[in-house]
Amino acid sequence: MEINMMLLVFSYLIGAIPFSLLIGKWFYKINLREHGSGNIGTTNTFRILGKKAGIVVLLLDMFKGALPVLIAILIDTEMHVFIPGLAAALGHVYSIFLKFKGGKAVATSAGAVLAYNPILFIILLTVFLTTLKLSKYVSLSSIISAIVFFILSIVFRDYLLIAFSFIIMVVIVVRHSSNIKRIMDGTESKITFM
């Protein structure tokens, strides 16, 4: 197998590891998919397992997205270095270990963006935190950040990133369809600490 293909397979597989489910099962004897929003992401981990597990899952899920991009940068691959990060994000959403189900792509995509362009990451983090402060909805903050990611890649004229950020934006919006419905119903849970 050639190196680019090996990196893509590795990126998908590392992205597909459901760290929150493993931590929930191993250390808390809780199946995260049966509690809260049922999502395997950072937000539901904070909600159900608490702050310590939430921080660990956030870091691990971001690491899943960052590592493939860093490897691509280090081995000087011919492909766009964000592609392995995208593969990891898609692995997180469509995990081979969960019958092609999974999370909502937010933390893993954020990790990929951080490794690709830390300034872009800081801008998107600012957008995320500002939206969160104003709305108290993590889901809405994730959606807005994904849309801003797409808009910024157009502004930066990073043509391949436009395509990748478009895919991530669509996946994030589609995966948050139940959250969007709950926001409109007024039943989406809000954070209480900001």
Q: Give 42 or 95: the residue with its C-beta nearer to ligand G3P.
A: 42
CB half-sphere exposure, 43, CA atoms < 13 A? 24
| Minimum CB–partner distance for residue 142 and ligand G3P (Å) | 4
| Minimum CB–partner distance for residue 19 and ligand G3P (Å) | 13
| Minimum CB–partner distance for residue 183 and ligand G3P (Å) | 10
Q: Give 7 or 24: the residue with its C-beta nearer to ligand G3P.
A: 24
The phi-psi region of residue 17 (left if phi > 0; otherwise alpha if psi is between -120 and 50; otherwise beta) is beta
Q: Give 80 or 104: the residue with its C-beta nearer to ligand G3P.
A: 104
In this structure, the chain runs to a length of: 194
> Residue 58: which of 46, 73, 47 has the closest Cα?
46
CA distances from 11 to 81, 90, 139, 163 (A): 12, 9, 25, 18
Distance, in Å, from the CA atom of 173 to the CA atom of 152, rounded to the nearest integer, reads 17
In the complex, which residue's CB is closest to ligand G3P? 37
Enumerate binding residues for ligand G3P (CB under 6 A): 37, 39, 41-44, 104, 106, 138-139, 142, 179
Q: Give 69 or 106: the residue with its C-beta nearer to ligand G3P.
A: 106
| Minimum CB–partner distance for residue 38 and ligand G3P (Å) | 8
12-31 b/e with 16+ CB inside 10 Å = b?
bbbbbbbbbbebbeeeeebe
| Minimum CB–partner distance for residue 184 and ligand G3P (Å) | 15
Q: Give 134 or 160: the residue with its C-beta nearer to ligand G3P.
A: 134
